[in-house]
Amino acid sequence: QVRLVESGGGLVQAGGSLRLSCAASGSMFSINAMGWYRQTPGKQRELVATITRGGSTNYADSVKGRFTISRDNAKNALYLQMNSLKPEDTAVYYCKATILGGMDFWGKGTLVTVSS
| Separation between Cα atoms, residue 61 and residue 107, nearest integer Å | 23
pLDDT on residue 27: 67
pLDDT at 28 > cutoff 70: no
Cβ proximity of 11 and 72 under 8 Å: no
Statement: residue 30 has pLDDT above 90: no
Give tens-digit pLDDT for 75-98: 889 999 999 999 999 999 999 999
Distances (CA, A) of 22 to 9, 13, 19, 41, 81: 11, 23, 10, 22, 12
Best CA proximity match to 89, nearest among 57, 56, 60: 60
Detail the DSSP E strand segments found in 73-109.
Answer: 77-82, 91-99, 104-106
Look at 41-45, 46-50, 79-83 and tell me which has the smallest mean pLDDT: 41-45
Minimum mean pLDDT range among 7-16, 26-35, 47-56, 103-112: 26-35
